[in-house]
Structure 1
Amino acid sequence: MAGASDKARFYLEQSVPELHELERKKIFTKDEITSIAKKRSDFEHILNARGSKPADYARYAEYEMNLESLRKKRVHRMGVKANVHTGQRRIFFILDRGTRKFHGDLGLWMQAIEYARKEKAHKKLARVFTSVLRMHPTKPELWIYAARYSTDVQADITTARSYMQRGLRFCKTSKLLWLEYVKLEMIYIAKIAARQKILGLDGSRPEKQAQSTTDESESDTIALPDVTAEDVDPGLESSLEEVAVQNLTSTPVLTGAIPIAIFDATTKQFPNNSALGKRFFDMFAEFDRAPCQAKILQHVLASLLKSAPTALETRICEFQQPLVGLEATSAAYPTALGQSLASVKASMQQIPHLRAKLATAALLTLVPLMRTEGLDVAIEKVMAASLRKFVAALQPQNQSSTLEQSGDRLADVVDLLLAQGRREDARHLTAYGLKHWKSDRLLQASAAVGPL
């Protein structure tokens, strides 16, 4: 016990100069300094005694964080100069001691990571990442966190890829890590495509328009012509931008080669897993701005049709693929909608036992169309007829259904929409259903979704 007291006294003595400075500059009063010293003494004796727990280190670090926050506010209000790193070093020192003693406690590690990120101590955070990943290499969430930090804060895709690739060596069976890796690449592609568009390197740069001179006589200023780099060197813009466009469009990044390679590696790790393939498909479908989206989706669908052609997930992807990335009011939408409806109809005929599940998936996909303003009249008619067919298909095959039974089945779809957080879609589907099918369950669903 004497050794514990000696350790505690040693650590406390190191903070004496800091406390003297705080008192001398009147940042804290003498009574407050006494209270701080007593609180630190209590914590140090607890930490250095036998039986200390990770929560003790966490509470000590939290106390010091609150104290440092108060110190900063008073320094700012009083306008005095003070050492800005002393408190930060003390907090890191406490957390380092805790993670060394309890290296298996992820809570302490995350507290250290979050504090370093909050303080923008990037070098320290890099060292913490190195240590925690060395201690917990089989935790996929840590690799994902480190990779996201590298891209979101540091804008360093190379380091982020390194984290993901190293993580996959230890966590090959983590589906989440594979999905997050390909999502990381898709986010990067979307960012590059957006920057390309902003810079006018996507081929959509508007042509220069001649300035109108109708108001020149009324203006009291002299309009001077714009002088650009192209005017000084006519070949400059065309040569540099053409090279830039060619380089950007031909790189493996924008062509989707990297996400496709990751997806192919995933299918080898998890063969014949149509549910995982559907998760990849849904994730790729979210990136409308990625120029390679259609190519990647087609590749995923082809892979699913080859490995599991009769799986429910495969048929849902086949039905949804033509509609991805299209606005309901675009000229190409009617044709795409026709392809999708034909696809789901064929699937229902080919795989009768999936008929009800396919109809449910079709309803979940098409319900947002009901909320689209300015929809073509012909599409509205097709939608109305299709919805009635899909509701009828919810009933088991070769069984006739009453209006009340159809309403009950539709209420099940409303429950699915609510479970997915799609309250507006649920509200519109309920309103549509009450016009055609009456049932107690549908009325209950109407009460659950709120006023129509």
Structure 2
Amino acid sequence: MERVQFQQEQMLDELKDLVDKKVFTVAETKQIMKQRSIHEATLVRRVAKKSDFLRYASYEMGLEHLRRKRVERLSMCRVQMDNLSMLNVTSEIPKTPVTVSDFALVRRQFHIFERALKRFKSDVGLWIEYIQLAKKEGARSLVGRITARALQLHPNVPSLYILAASHELAHLSPSTARTLLQRGIRLNSSNVEMWTEYLKMELGFIESLRRRWDVLGITREGTGVSQNVKNIVSEKDQFLDVDMDEGTTTAGIEKARDAELERLDQEGDEGTAARKQILDGVIVKAVMDSAVQALPQIELFESFNRLITIYPSSPTLRESLIEHFDALLRSTLPQHPRAIEILYTRLLTSASDSASQASSSSNPSVENLRGRALVEGVRRANEMLISIMSDTQEESVRQVYAQFALEWCQKDSRINLDENLKLYVISSLQALIHRQKSSSPSLLCAHIKLVTEAAQRGTVEPAKALDTAKRYTSRVPESASVWIARLTAMKALDENIDAVWREARRSVSPKDENFAHVWTWGISEDMVHDERLRVYEVLLNESVGDSSLQEHLLLGYVAALMVSRSTPVSGDDSDQVANKSAKALNLQKLRHMQGRFLNTGKVWQKMFHLEAEENGSAIVLEELYELWRTANVVEATIAWAEWLLKNGKGKEASVLIVRSKGSVGQKEQEEMETQWVRIMG
């Protein structure tokens, strides 16, 4: 009771001070009391909600924002009134003595979050919101305490370590930030984001040292290796040696680091050699080594690659780190497709080797090569990829080479290669296929596409391109992608494709993921409506016996049937009659197809929804419903009942639901009831 009374007295002092300062009126303070009472009442419920606490905190945040605006306005008015000499009109607003109202509203926000966290300790998002609020209000020590508590409860949440470390770095405490990230890595060694943030912090540490030494006029030139630097970063157990209870690095490592950094600022051969090692990235390289040893995954390499190529380091440091990174990538994931892509892309981008590049805001390591450098880069990338493929038969690796060839030779490429350079890549691809007697669909498709484009440009005979495509389909007749490449080439070169398309449909393997695509390849949107229906019927006749393919074709056939429905209907009665006749004709044709092919529930479902979207007649929709319900009574009934409800026939819809529930099992009844309640709600 005494505690409640004390809180009320404090609250009254706070509001009284606001009134005395003329920030709020008496009426406004009464309204504040009323709103607080309402929010407090919601918090003492038996089952409190997180949203109630957040709503209360949001109200207090808005109140504090209003208080600051009014204080600023009142202070400005006082300055203008008291400034009789007009000399200090533009001067800063003088600060008034701090009173209870200056911090009470912020303190109340903190108190609300503390109460919320007592109930929702497991809510990481709530902890993060509290930390963000404390950072916004400049409560540095409070941020440290909150993050420490949050990390004790959630030691396996990487975002908390990163948030805490960024706060320490922002307040010039790199040692504390390093300690936090090291602890996070120990507990979350498989998290890519943790390792990336740690690497980023060490890059920032090196950059700060470089700028410091530049200001002091200390050079990095010298030879030899600092043994103390080696001792700090070489051994993994020392490099990540952390006292888990205190959250600080062990005394020996910390003293060694401090002593080494102090000695680095001194002149002399040993200090010069140590500075050279630091600026060459020995610490960052050690982080990379530890990360790869703990998490040898391509996602880690991709994240590191993005960081070291974008981070504003010196050109010398970037080149050194990239060289070390590439060596790690080759030794760890020598045949991973995405790793190979990183390596060959590196050869096709410019190096940061000039002062102008170093001062540029853009990333020099991702600029495209030009001229002789481009020719040399393509040659080196081509030779590297061929060398890798000679050691493996993996199709995924061959896809990388195919991607490389297409990316750098196609007409819509980001770089317009010289025609001779394109022919060099095409010849290399052809030689690789011939030498290895390759039946790789990726390589064969890429070669067909490239020789076809060369034929269109006039650098290769069209007959040669067509002959190449024919030979490749005879080599792998079961591959759908190679057949599609051949058909596309014939179409591009104005060749008749009907016979070849039939051959492709007979030859392609049903197990191929692009099997259905081969069957529908010759159907295009610009075909005449009747012609498209005729082609679909031919395909349906050919596909008898394959239920999956039949369903795929029937779904396309249904869509083709409804194309004529997309024509807007005018107000003329004759047009409406014609439109209804078209509906009846489509339905009649589909019934005819039903007797010849295996129509599944998906086919009737699509027909029903297409008809409903085009404001179809109730008679046609009801018949489609009857056909659909034989395959899926629940979905069909719900769809038909929903249409009836939307069209002002709610009573009929309810009768339909009741009648249908009597013809299904208990599980289907419950599902139907749940969906119907959702629609009605």
Please state which band the TM-score falls in when normalised by the shorter chain. 0.5 to 0.7
How many Å apart are 1:164 and its aligned residue? 0.5
1:43 aligns with 2:39: yes
1:97 aligns with 2:122: no
How many Å apart are 1:308 and its aligned residue? 2.8
Q: Is the 8 A contact 1:147 1:159 kept in 2?
A: yes
Identity level (%) = 27
Question: Which residue matches 1:277?
Answer: 301
Change (3 A) 1:127 1:397: same
Question: Which residue matches 2:352?
Answer: 326
Distance in 2, Cα, partners of 1:182 & 1:397? 38
Distance in 2, Cα, partners of 1:174 & 1:188? 22
How many Å apart are 1:268 and its aligned residue? 1.7
Change (3 A) 1:48 1:288: closer
1:343 aligns with 2:380: yes
Distance in 2, Cα, partners of 1:123 & 1:349? 58
How many Å apart are 1:256 and its aligned residue? 1.4
Pick aligned residue for 1:357 from 400, 415, 418: 400
Pick aligned residue for 1:397 from 443, 450, 461: 443
Pick aligned residue for 1:147 from 144, 153, 165: 165
Distance in 2, Cα, partners of 1:166 & 1:175? 15
Change (3 A) 1:243 1:12: farther
Q: Is the 8 A contact 2:202 2:284 kept in 1?
A: yes
Distance in 2, Cα, partners of 1:74 & 1:278? 50
Q: Is the 8 A contact 2:61 2:109 kept in 1?
A: yes
1:27 aligns with 2:27: no
Distance in 2, Cα, partners of 1:56 & 1:244? 65
Distance in 2, Cα, partners of 1:50 & 1:56? 13
Change (3 A) 1:123 1:260: same
* Pairs within 5 Å for 1:169-184: 169-184=186-201
How many Å apart are 1:359 and its aligned residue? 5.5
Question: Which residue matches 2:340?
Answer: 315
Offset from partner CA, 1:290-311 (integer Å, 9 cap, x none):
4432222222222222233233
Distance in 2, Cα, partners of 1:194 & 1:362? 43
Q: Is the 8 A contact 1:61 1:95 kept in 2?
A: yes
Change (3 A) 1:390 1:250: same
Q: Is the 8 A contact 1:356 1:396 kept in 2?
A: yes
Mind listing any 5+ residue stretches in structure 2 that lack a counterpart?
76-95, 222-264, 358-368, 431-440, 458-491, 494-681
Distance in 2, Cα, partners of 1:199 & 1:366? 51
Question: Which residue matches 2:175?
Answer: 158
1:268 aligns with 2:293: yes
SS at match of 1:326: coil
Distance in 1, Cα, partners of 2:62 & 2:204? 36
Distance in 1, Cα, partners of 2:421 & 2:4? 75
Question: Which residue matches 1:71?
Answer: 67
Mind listing any 5+ residue stretches in structure 1 that lack a counterpart?
205-239, 372-379, 408-436, 439-452
Offset from partner CA, 1:213-272 (integer Å, 9 cap, x none):
xxxxxxxxxxxxxxxxxxxxxxxxxxx98559945962654231222112111222224x
Distance in 2, Cα, partners of 1:129 & 1:88? 19
Distance in 2, Cα, partners of 1:10 & 1:387? 84
SS at match of 1:296: helix
Distance in 2, Cα, partners of 1:47 & 1:10? 19
SS at match of 1:15: helix
How many Å apart are 1:384 and its aligned residue? 6.0
How many Å apart are 1:32 and its aligned residue? 0.7
Question: Which residue matches 2:630?
Answer: none
Aligned AA (2:383):
A
Change (3 A) 1:261 1:327: closer
How many Å apart are 1:122 and its aligned residue? 0.6
Distance in 2, Cα, partners of 1:81 & 1:389? 79
Question: Which residue matches 1:257?
Answer: 282
* Pairs within 5 Å for 1:363-374: none
Change (3 A) 1:10 1:252: farther
Change (3 A) 1:14 1:51: farther
* Range that drifts further, 337-346 or 17-26: 337-346
Change (3 A) 1:324 1:137: farther
Change (3 A) 1:381 1:45: closer
Question: Which residue matches 2:512?
Answer: none
Q: Is the 8 A contact 2:344 2:385 kept in 1?
A: no
How many residue pairs were aligned?
358
Distance in 2, Cα, partners of 1:362 & 1:190? 39
Offset from partner CA, 1:131-157 (integer Å, 9 cap, x none):
111111111111111112222x21221
Distance in 1, Cα, partners of 2:290 & 2:40? 51
Question: Which residue matches 2:313?
Answer: 289
Larger Rg: 2
Change (3 A) 1:165 1:406: farther
How many Å apart are 1:39 and its aligned residue? 0.6
Distance in 2, Cα, partners of 1:361 & 1:190? 35
How many Å apart are 1:49 and its aligned residue? 2.4
* Range that drifts further, 391-400 or 45-54: 391-400
Question: Which residue matches 1:423?
Answer: none
SS at match of 2:193: helix
Distance in 2, Cα, partners of 1:45 & 1:406? 78
How many Å apart are 1:36 and its aligned residue? 0.1
Aligned AA (2:198):
Y
Distance in 1, Cα, partners of 2:202 & 2:155? 22
SS at match of 2:443: coil
How many Å apart are 1:34 and its aligned residue? 0.8
Distance in 2, Cα, partners of 1:94 & 1:285? 44
CA RMSD of aligned residues (A): 4.1
How many Å apart are 1:67 and its aligned residue? 0.5
1:302 aligns with 2:327: yes
Distance in 2, Cα, partners of 1:281 & 1:167? 22
Q: Is the 8 A contact 1:315 1:347 kept in 2?
A: no
How many Å apart are 1:10 and its aligned residue? 6.5
Distance in 2, Cα, partners of 1:21 & 1:270? 58
* Pairs within 5 Å for 1:8-19: 11-19=7-15
How many Å apart are 1:163 and its aligned residue? 0.9
Distance in 1, Cα, partners of 2:267 & 2:409? 42
Change (3 A) 1:196 1:82: closer
Offset from partner CA, 1:16-53 (integer Å, 9 cap, x none):
11112222332211211111000111111211221111
Question: Which residue matches 1:235?
Answer: none
Distance in 2, Cα, partners of 1:355 & 1:72? 64
Distance in 1, Cα, partners of 2:442 & 2:218? 54
Q: Is the 8 A contact 2:402 2:443 kept in 1?
A: no
How many Å apart are 1:123 and its aligned residue? 0.9
